[in-house]
Amino acid sequence: MKAILLIALLAVAATASSVDAYNSMWEAWKVQHKKNYRATEEAMRFGIFIENVKKINRLNAENTDVKFAINKFADLTAYEFKSQQASCGFVEKNRNFIAKHTAPVKSVGALPDAVDWRNKGAVTPVKDQGQCGSCWTFSTTGVLEGFYFINNGKLLSFSEQQIVDCDTDQDEGCNGGWPYLAIQYSAQNGLEQESDYPYTAEDGDCKYNKNKAVKVAGGYQFVTANSTDSLKAALVNGPVSVAIEADQDVFQFYSKGVISTGCGAELDHAVLAVGYQKVGVLEAFIVKNSWGNSWGQDGYVYISTINKLNKNQGACGILAQPVIPTA
């Protein structure tokens, strides 16, 4: 009911600028997201909220294939959103390094029309990284959870916190890191399950217990970059860790539909591709995010499979650096 009320009030605000309409939306939003502010901060956050509502209305007027809505990030400026949610320190690795560690994926023959590993039991529920730049660990556990399921027939939820706390030679916990390095760490140490090493959304001391760790993969390889067909072929074999640019309005307020514009390829966020399918008339990669299930489509976002975008790096750079575990 609260979500329906907010949608209804958003429609009112699209045609009216009355303080009462915005106040009603604001009060409903605060209740829905359990927000409380000091008196000195309330007016500032309300002002940001109003500007974001106006921005959402403009985005919806300008786009037909993707929709935007008020969500839990509606009281954040664009800078705050980028700092809190899209600051995983994830930037493009040296192309020569990637080429050296790229190998053809296992042959799949003709590509199927659609793949969705959620339907096959290989994907855990959507998780929430909170205000910790640990997206890279969620992308890592997601791809390893899928890999383990495919090879062992059992779905386990692996510990992001273990990676945050213990994989510190080159990665930096809440300040960012690389999925391929985390996959390599897991190959050397194994991973504990979430239930044994729960997530805290902050850096901590390593409490790794090798007796509880599960051997998952032997290493990693990059999937051929800048190729829709290569990423789709990899997805036929299992979920894939991918990097995207997620610091733009299209991600802050994404609700449903297919993103094809509005973000470039300045990679700053790691997520998990779990398949591809038609969404209406558009084909899209199915991408699991780590911002909780209240964001987007139950925690997921659909990103266009069009190859030519961003100089063949794909929508939001999704084709630039796919990586998968190896046995």
Active-site residue list: 135, 269, 289
Sign for the CA dihedral angle at 56, 23, 4, 301 comes to positive
Q: Which residues contact 262 (CB under 8 A, 6 or more apart)?
A: 63, 248, 249, 250
Question: Which 3 state secondary structure label does DSSP give 161?
Answer: helix
Sign for the CA dihedral angle at 176, 182, 185, 186 comes to positive
Asked if residues 295 and 81 have their Cβ atoms less than 8 Å apart, the reply is no
- Please classify residue 204 by burial: count the beta carbons closer than 10 Å to its beta carbon, then call 0-12 exposed, 13-18 middle and 19+ buried: middle
How many Å apart are CA 81 and CA 95, to the nearest integer?
29
Matching residue, tokens 């790691």? 270
